[in-house]
Amino acid sequence: MAILAGLLLALAAVLVVLEPILRGTTTAPLAALLSDSDDDEMDPVQRRRDLALAALKEIEFDRATGKLSDDDYQRLQAKYSAEAVEALRAADHAAADPVEHLIARAKAERPARAGRRFCTECGARRESSRAFCTECGSRVAA
């Protein structure tokens, strides 16, 4: 009887441990805790600007604490200042023309789609490099 009770207890413990796996929960809450979701969702232009400004703050701190010599500080400060100015200009340009920015972002995020062409007559998508459209039969330019 004691063996049966022990087996039932062990089975219950295994089921409690495996319950999230058997239920099929997503790992989204865990992923949100482990990674900074703001960085994943942030616009690349804003991310670049924030990284450049953070680098400038970091070298200021390193100089103040004595980790950087004056020569190293001047060299790094010139490098990161140029990067920050360029990133700020890109952010201003993106803010000035949001439609162009969205188009450029979509182009950067889409995978390369080599070989996808469309018929100039009917607009149907070509599945391969055939000389004729499968929808309307017209000759398709290569």
Residue type, position 18, single letter: L
Cα maximum dimension of the chain: 82
Domain locations along the chain: 35-110, 113-142
Selection from 127, 45, 123 nearest residue 136 by Cα: 123
Is the whole-model pTM more than 0.85?
A: no
- Convert the pLDDT of each residue in 28-71 to its tens digit: 443 443 445 455 566 787 888 888 888 899 999 999 999 889 99
